[in-house]
Structure 1
Amino acid sequence: MWSPNQMLVLALVAASSFTSVHVLEFCQSTDRDCHSDDNHDNMASNSQPSLHTVKSRWNVSVSNLIKDLEQLKVSSKKLIEAFPIDEVNGNFARSVKNCIFSKSIPTPLRGPLRLAAASKDVIEGILDLDVALTHTNDFLHFASGDKLLSGSVPLAHRYGGHQFGYWAGQLGDGRAHSLGQYTNRKGEVWELQLKGSGKTPYSRSGDGRAVIRSSVREFLCSEAMHFLGIPTSRAASLIVSDEPVIRDTFYNGNVKTEKGAVVLRLAKSWFRIGSLEILSRSGEIDLLRKLLNFVIDEHFSSINSDDPDTYLVFYSTVVNETANLIAQWMSVGFAHGVCNTDNFSLLSITIDYGPFGFMEAYDPGFVPNTSDDEGRYSVGAQANVGLFNLEKLLNALSPVLSKHQQNQAQSILKGYTNINQMRIHQHFKAKLGLLGEEEDDGYLIAFLLKMMEDTQSDFTMTFRQLSEVSAQQLHNRKFPQMWALEDLSSHKLFSDWLSMFLLRLSRQLNDSDLQRQHRMKNVNPRYVLRNWMAESAISKVEMKDFSEMELLHHILSHPYVTQETAEELGYAARPPLWAKRLKVSCSS
């Protein structure tokens, strides 16, 4: 018989600390006055106003917003002064040495240009811009790569990476241009980047473009992940055009013409594990130290730069936070799809959205990326992939660590699995509303996941409906209109598990059924970006209809709140049969 911890690992769950989220019991999405309580102001509505908008829970003084794009002070100065820049100019593909960035001018999208989406939360809350500016020609040209702001020197970042387990050499920003850093009125520094903005020295054989389908997915998912409470890059806008882009979507020789798009995205930093790997492998050790010192000084304020173990403390922090990030992915059934070292942020945020997917029927072997023939990056393998990537990070750091520090770092890395298993326990206890600690909690969680796997129960809605069902309904084994629980209850051992669960809840003193439901709703979303939802929005955007994109954006900005329009559209219903035929790949 497996131990509870072994069953948890075999069930392939992970966990992390939860941020408390406060929600309404029900939200009429057409009601302008519908909002959550004030403590949930980080879950603000975004994008353009519409009849479907849930009222923002976060307010910004309109008088303090920038109403002229020329007043947006973006600067590349700090990055250019900190590092040597590629001595060769031009966007032609080449091998680059002894630098972190190459200067690279974006290639503007060919018009006509259209604003397909804008995040009000990012535009106003991060960039301090009046969202009305997104409807101006100036913004269209800026966010599509045609207009550079004063102080902006576009840069393409040089990095390498291990791709599907093998060292791939020089990679770099092959279709992305960093426009510079912006310090907002809260004192936060954000780096602005265009994705899909044309060739760079790192484009290799690519055209530097992104297509509508992948750009819609990146915009929606990066914003959805933020509102789920998961560390992520953000998306400010999506500009689409009629510019033809040639793609072989599934690498089967079936080439077709698609349309180009550009996402304006933001992160505190775009440095990733591959940023250090390329320097270490090229023997550029002085530059490796320079980049490490910069990253630590700018983004790890708790680390004392005078400490002789600075790099060791940095590594320990990245190990811990990477374990936490992957655990958070697992808590919502998110599979990144391409967990290469060049896609893993040093700040442990989710970046580079490609062939991702949210698991529907619970399956640890779920692979969203059809290009991943071996299932290396299946949802259940992500924790192990994180360990692999952290091993590669340690290899990159080894030239700047003493032998003793390298041994200590190996011990730190060995602790990764324990961190992950601890988070497993914490996360899924919270998803089940469990308080305190009891010996059989691990078994209770693993038992549930095994039943979900056997019955192919929906991951998101099983936990959500357990949050919504009353204790009396559980006692009576009656789940009217709760399709996911009905699927789960078909398991021959469901009654046994349910008896254990109810007995466990009964021992939680001073905890009412309503309190239990409220806690569970705070951590179990009702809406995630399922592939069929994204596909439906994509098909309309390609026809120049942005209404579903806007609506879906609004709904995913409030994933824990039941919304009337979302229910009418079936966003919490059993996925349509045609959704099973959907495929996504690395081609974008």
Structure 2
Amino acid sequence: MRLNIDDRFNQQLPADTVQTPSRRQVTGAAFSFVTPRVPSNPQVLHIAADVAEMLGLSSADLASDEFRNVFSGGKVIEGTRPYAMCYGGHQFGSWAGQLGDGRAINLAEVQHAGKHWTLQLKGAGETPYSRTADGLAVLRSSVREHLCSEAMHHLGVPTTRSLCLLTTGDQVLRDVMYDGNPEMETGAVVCRVAPSFIRFGNFEIFASRNDLKMLRELADYTIRHFYPAIETGTQSGYGDFFYAVCQRTLTMMVHWQRVGFVHGVMNTDNMSVHGDTIDYGPYGWLEGYDPDWTPNTTDRTHRRYQFGNQPQIALWNLVQLANALYPIVGEAPPFESALQQYQHDFNREFTRMQANKIGLSEVIEGDEDLLDQLDAVLQLTETDMTIFFRLLGNVKKSADVASGSDFLSPVRDAFYAADQLTGEVLEPWRDWFAKYLSRLNKDSETDQTRREQMNRVNPKYVLRNYMAQLAIDAADQGDAALIQELYELLRDPYSEQPEHEKWFAKRPEWARHKVGCSMLSCSS
């Protein structure tokens, strides 16, 4: 198997001096060397061909026993030393101390076609950071991570990628609903791919221990390799680095809100310094448009990570990163300026994105009120976000909203209870559509041009939780065909794909409250 190994992190940063997987507080080190667990009977379930190509792997490589053994954790690539990273984090708003890669092991770093990638196995065994857990993962969570990583990439959302999904041949005990009823599940491993897996929490852990030497080393390493235009080793450089992370995080947030994605666990240890979506746990896409919705059962009471709150949580997390970097900068203005710029730029870009979703190529006076009113009417009755915005492109400038409800015909399939579109629900919709059509008629674009533009920002297909669950159920019975079908579908989410029209549909009623199809736990 041909991989151009180019390890950096575990060669240029200090390692943990203890080399056992015993759970412990790791100090003065960025990582710990570990050995992946050898599975009993690994089997390749799915490979993302374009990710393999991105890494320089050939079709012969993918079919080899070596591929299966390496990416299940059963064999260490010659000349490499796998490792788990040390980091901390704020979880649900509270400092949690040391966390680290409890079920993730970095296999190696590779160079191909001028780009640098880190290969990370999730579910390959225990590390010093596993705490009371076993470091393993199950098929359920692994299918979700594998499919979602690739779906997000093809939606145009910054994200980590996923090379492959394998079953291990072993059973893993999990309490999926945290209700005291654990069951054995199929063990699995997924190989995640990213420039690096450095998180906000990697900086927080050193700041919390006042380990300024390690804090500087990590910051210099990150800037040198991933922000090369920024000066290393200077106060102004660290400030510029923070500003750049703010801007990349902003871009990611706008995309999340554009496609209706809800991460579910926006802890600081789940925030990448690359502005990539990382750690796919209890995520979900909005079904009914509800800014208060969270897919995470752990968050159901306080809803800290609900859809509408994500941009502000990202800002809160950036403040924690600023606090971590402050000791090596020594002054607040660079951070304050970057955070203020985040808020200013996000408001502008978010409004521009919303305008694009309804077919407006530029924002003029009155558009923000139109968008705010749409946000309100979408919540009058359960309305599927993805379907509504996709169908909105079918509205014609010449539509008549004066009487009846025919003006809603182009978007009617987005409503879960169309019979509710009367009286106090119908009239606010009529008022909004009248204003919307008036606004469209101020632009010169034809209906067809506008529709084409809208279809480039409003996906037709997203990975709804019930779709992922159907693939999981089939895979658990040894059938990976639906994984492949969804993978192919989600590689082209903005195209019509009439042969896959069955997936352009509202969540079925049977999935409304079914485990795995609505809210999920962090159990994996």
Alignment TM-score > 0.5, same fold: yes
Assess if the C-alpha contact under 8 Å between 2:351 and 2:368 holds in 1: yes
2:436 to 481, 487, 501: 501
* Aligned position for 1:317: 244
Q: Report the Cα distance in structure 2 between the residues aligned to 1:380 and 1:549, rounded to whole angstroms.
A: 30
* Aligned position for 1:421: 347
What pairs with 1:114-193 in structure 2 (closer than 5 Å)?
114-124=43-53, 126-184=54-112, 186-193=113-120
Deviations along 1:142-170, whole A, 9 cap, x unmatched? 11001122222101000000111111111
What pairs with 1:177-576 in structure 2 (closer than 5 Å)?
177-184=105-112, 186-305=113-232, 308-372=235-299, 373-403=301-331, 406-472=332-398, 477=407, 479=409, 482-484=412-414, 487=418, 491-509=426-444, 511-567=445-501, 570-576=502-508
Assess if the C-alpha contact under 8 Å between 2:6 and 2:111 holds in 1: no
Q: Report the Cα distance in structure 2 between the residues aligned to 1:146 and 1:127, rounded to whole angstroms.
A: 20
**152 and 470 in structure 1: CA distance in 2 versus 1, 3 angstrom threshold:** farther
**265 and 417 in structure 1: CA distance in 2 versus 1, 3 angstrom threshold:** same
Q: Report the Cα distance in structure 1 between the residues aligned to 2:374 and 2:353, rounded to whole angstroms.
A: 14
Q: Report the Cα distance in structure 2 between the residues aligned to 1:307 and 1:273, rounded to whole angstroms.
A: 19
* Aligned position for 2:10: 80
> How high is the TM-score relative to the length of structure 2?
0.94
Assess if the C-alpha contact under 8 Å between 1:91 and 1:199 holds in 2: yes
Amino acid at match of 1:520: M
Count of equivalent residues: 510
Amino acid at match of 2:297: T
Structure 1 spans left out of the alignment, 5+ residues: 1-68
Deviations along 1:498-539, whole A, 9 cap, x unmatched? 111111111112x11111000000000001010100000000
Q: Report the Cα distance in structure 1 between the residues aligned to 2:334 and 2:218, rounded to whole angstroms.
A: 22
Q: Report the Cα distance in structure 1 between the residues aligned to 2:237 and 2:350, rounded to whole angstroms.
A: 29
Amino acid at match of 1:164: F
Deviations along 1:78-130, whole A, 9 cap, x unmatched? 2233111110011121111100011001002221x221111011011x11112
Shift of 1:574: 2.1
Amino acid at match of 1:121: D
Shift of 1:327: 1.8
Shift of 1:480: 6.0
Assess if the C-alpha contact under 8 Å between 1:239 and 1:263 holds in 2: yes
Shift of 1:320: 2.1
1:577 to 2:505 alignment: no
Deviations along 1:375-394, whole A, 9 cap, x unmatched? 11111111121121111111
Assess if the C-alpha contact under 8 Å between 2:220 and 2:233 holds in 1: no
Q: Give the secondary-structure state (helix, strand or coil) at the position aligned to 2:184.
A: strand
Counting aligned pairs with the same residue, the percent is 38
**308 and 340 in structure 1: CA distance in 2 versus 1, 3 angstrom threshold:** closer
1:89 to 9, 13, 19: 19
Assess if the C-alpha contact under 8 Å between 1:467 and 1:521 holds in 2: yes
Q: Report the Cα distance in structure 2 between the residues aligned to 1:148 and 1:552, rounded to whole angstroms.
A: 31
Assess if the C-alpha contact under 8 Å between 1:474 and 1:498 holds in 2: no
Deviations along 1:341-362, whole A, 9 cap, x unmatched? 0000011100011000101100
Assess if the C-alpha contact under 8 Å between 1:74 and 1:179 holds in 2: no
Q: Give the secondary-structure state (helix, strand or coil) at the position aligned to 2:503.
A: coil
Q: Report the Cα distance in structure 1 between the residues aligned to 2:400 and 2:471, rounded to whole angstroms.
A: 37
Shift of 1:418: 2.1
Q: Report the Cα distance in structure 2 between the residues aligned to 1:512 and 1:215, rounded to whole angstroms.
A: 44
Assess if the C-alpha contact under 8 Å between 2:392 and 2:410 holds in 1: no
Amino acid at match of 2:370: L
Q: Report the Cα distance in structure 2 between the residues aligned to 1:168 and 1:506, rounded to whole angstroms.
A: 54
**308 and 395 in structure 1: CA distance in 2 versus 1, 3 angstrom threshold:** closer
Shift of 1:325: 1.1
Assess if the C-alpha contact under 8 Å between 1:75 and 1:151 holds in 2: no
How large is the RMSD of aligned CA atoms in angstroms? 1.7
Q: Report the Cα distance in structure 2 between the residues aligned to 1:274 and 1:348, rounded to whole angstroms.
A: 14
Assess if the C-alpha contact under 8 Å between 2:355 and 2:362 holds in 1: no
**237 and 398 in structure 1: CA distance in 2 versus 1, 3 angstrom threshold:** same
Q: Report the Cα distance in structure 2 between the residues aligned to 1:97 and 1:150, rounded to whole angstroms.
A: 28
Deviations along 1:209-239, whole A, 9 cap, x unmatched? 0000000000000100000000000000000
Amino acid at match of 2:491: S
**504 and 481 in structure 1: CA distance in 2 versus 1, 3 angstrom threshold:** closer
Shift of 1:479: 2.2
> How high is the TM-score relative to the length of structure 1?
0.84
**474 and 232 in structure 1: CA distance in 2 versus 1, 3 angstrom threshold:** farther
Q: Report the Cα distance in structure 2 between the residues aligned to 1:225 and 1:500, rounded to whole angstroms.
A: 33
Assess if the C-alpha contact under 8 Å between 1:73 and 1:150 holds in 2: no
Assess if the C-alpha contact under 8 Å between 1:74 and 1:150 holds in 2: no
Structure 2 spans left out of the alignment, 5+ residues: none
